[in-house]
Amino acid sequence: MSSMVESSRQFDGFEEDESLMNVTQRKCDIFNGKWVYDSNTYPLYKATQCPFLSDQVSCRRNGRPDFDYEKWRWEPQDCEIPRFNGIEMLERLRGKRVIIAGDSINRNQWESLSCLLYSAIPPSDAEVKVRSGVYKVFRAKEYNCSIEFYWSPFLVQLDETSEKGRRVLKLDTMASSARQWKGADIMVFNTGHWWVHHGKLQMWDFLKFKGKLMKDLEVEKAFEIGMKTWAHWIDRNVDSTKTTVFFRSISPEHKLGKQWCHNQTQLIMDESYIESFPRPIIGIVEKTIQEMRTPVKYLNITRLSQYRKDAHPMVYTSKQGKLLTEKQRKQPQVYGDCSHWCLPGLPDTWNVLLYTLTLLENPRETL
**3 belongs to a structural domain:** no
pLDDT for position 14: 40
Q: Does residue 275 register a pLDDT over 80?
A: no
**5 belongs to a structural domain:** no
Whole-number Å distance between alpha carbons of 261 and 345: 15
Q: Does residue 324 register a pLDDT over 90?
A: yes
**4 belongs to a structural domain:** no
Are residues 253 and 277 in contact, defined by beta-carbon separation less than 8 angstroms? yes
Domain interval for residue 182: 16-361
Distances, alpha carbon 45 to alpha carbons 50, 116, 209, 271, 273, in Å: 8, 7, 45, 30, 31
For residues 38 and 166, the model is more confident at 38
pLDDT for position 21: 54
Our answer to whether residue 312 is catalytic in this structure is: no
Q: Does residue 43 register a pLDDT over 90?
A: yes
Our answer to whether residue 104 is catalytic in this structure is: yes
What is the bridge-based pairing of β-strands 296-299 and 244-248?
A: parallel
Our answer to whether residue 2 is catalytic in this structure is: no
**263 belongs to a structural domain:** yes
For residues 273 and 208, the model is more confident at 208
**7 belongs to a structural domain:** no
Q: Tell me the whole-structure pTM to 2 decimals.
A: 0.92
Domains: count for the chain: 1
**8 belongs to a structural domain:** no
Kindly name the residue from 38, 185, 310, 337 that is annotated as catalytic.
337
Residues 229-251 have pLDDT tens digits of 999 999 999 999 999 999 999 99
Kindly name the residue from 104, 112, 119, 251 that is annotated as catalytic.
104
Kindly name the residue from 54, 119, 340, 348 that is annotated as catalytic.
340
Q: Does residue 26 register a pLDDT over 90?
A: no
Are residues 311 and 346 in contact, defined by beta-carbon separation less than 8 angstroms? yes
pLDDT for position 8: 34
Q: Does residue 255 register a pLDDT over 70?
A: yes
**11 belongs to a structural domain:** no
Choose among 354, 251, 349: nearest CA to 309.
251
102: helix, strand or coil: strand
Q: 205's torsion region: left (phi>0), alpha (psi -120 to 50) or beta?
A: alpha
